[in-house]
Amino acid sequence: MKKILLFCYTVAALQGFSSCSSNQPKEDYSWLKNAIDTSVQQLEETVADVGDSVLLPRAIWTGYDMDFLCNQLQRDPSTFKDSLRVKPIKASIGSRRYCGSIYDWTSGFFPGNLWYAYQLTGKENLKASAAKFTNYLYPVRKYTGTHDIGFMMNCSYGNANRLAPADSIQSILVQTADNLCDRFNPNIGCIRSWDFGKWNFPVIIDNMMNLDLLFYVNHLTNNPKYKDIALKHAETTLKNHFREDYSSYHVVSYKNDGNVELKCTHQGKNDDSSWARGQAWGVYGYTSCYRESKDTLFLQQAKNIANMIMKCVKTDDAIPLWDYDAPDMPETPRDASAASITASALIELSTLIEDGQVYLDYAEKLLKSLSSDAYLAKVGTNQGFILMHSVGSLPNGSEIDTPINYADYYYLEALIRYMQVKGLDYKSL
């Protein structure tokens, strides 16, 4: 794969990136151009709509129907704890949902979307908007209450530093990474995910995504502490989160001596099911770990999870149901966020190995599905979000079959990675 890519890059460079071989017809990338143009217009309209209010778009408010939830979860209504579920105000259903505060775990994605749209097109207005929304998160550099500071700050300030580097941004990232490292327990070998709930020391598969902040700060500082902690966390998670078929539990809680207290779910169908986004976080996280460590244990894990995902998907368009074990019925919601995270991960995975074509092909299928009318919003609709049809937390009655900012984030990231692999740039589409 690597050799093929190198060959394509060389030939494409000689041909002005026109195509891999002059004998082949030029590939039709109109779907890609439409995806980027739609994304940019949606983001620009949202920026205009939000104006100078300190608000970060997150999703669209949805309600839920109890019978529907019970059918999806195959549970008796009497087993529900009503207090756990989000109860949207009826009048708000269908309107734009903003992050509750800058400390919401999704607060970094909207600024990140603007950075990615800027990277894709070079449009200066997007860069200015990205910087403005990123700066709203400045106080988060001192926040220590969740592992999600990795998502929040790497997607906003991390992209800011990549695309418009500044010493002041680097110190923000270092401070955040130090706070994330303070959540690492050496007896357990993991970073603690949550500070709420019934668990002694909860670690969720999503935590694999926060490691990229540590890898990035390792590169910025050359201090091995960040990478060592990240890789130890990945190693412990590999040992305890996965089942024989490489699907993963959502939550593993540890006792203080490092033994496992319990394994369960918080957002999946049931404790033993395979929550779709969790599997996506896993393949993405282990791909990052291999990129940074070149440890083949992590590569094999990434491939195993990717193969499991490709085997378990039940839909023709490859966009997974919200849980791989959800009932296979027409009304079961799909999760575009899981698809966009998987697409982004598999494109990167394909570039790290010789035999990566199968992963690139699958990612391309996901991207084409997401870029179709079934998932990509029409300009001016969908409250300004790019993709429709994600699921946040079905068991908690939250964000069911709705756009969500992180689906858009990983979609844009996947588009960027796809264009890099294909040697494309926006202006030549």
Give catalytic residue positions.
Answer: 148, 206
Q: How far is the CB of 206 from ligand GLY (least distance, A)?
A: 4
Name residues whose C-beta falls within 8 Å of residue 56's C-beta, 6 or more positions apart in sequence: 98, 99, 102, 104, 106, 107, 110, 111, 133, 136, 405
Residue 206 or residue 408: which is nearer to ligand GLY going by CB? 206
- What residue has token string 């969720």? 204
Angle (CA) 104-340-420 rounded to 5° is 115
Residue 267 or residue 287: which is nearer to ligand GLY going by CB? 267
Residue 127 or residue 277: which is nearer to ligand GLY going by CB? 277
Q: How far is the CB of 125 from ligand GLY (least distance, A)?
A: 30
AA identity, residue 91: A
As a whole number of angstroms, the distance between CA 233 and CA 292 comes to 14
Q: Which residues does residue 204 pair with via DSSP β-bridges, in sequence order?
A: 251
As a whole number of angstroms, the distance between CA 406 and CA 403 comes to 9
User: Angle, nearest 10°, between helix axes 357-370 and 336-352?
Assistant: 150
Q: How far is the CB of 204 from ligand GLY (least distance, A)?
A: 7
Q: How far is the CB of 409 from ligand GLY (least distance, A)?
A: 12
Residue 47 or residue 280: which is nearer to ligand GLY going by CB? 280
Contacts to ligand GLY by CB under 6 A: 105, 206, 267, 277, 392
Instruction: State whether the Cα torsion 256-258-261-262 is positive or negative.
Output: positive
Tokens coding 89? 């105000």
What is the number of the residue whose Cβ is closest to ligand GLY? 206
- Residue 269's nearest CA partner among 333, 340, 306, 324 is 324
- Phi, psi values for residue 155, rounded to 5°: -70, -25
Residue 119 or residue 267: which is nearer to ligand GLY going by CB? 267
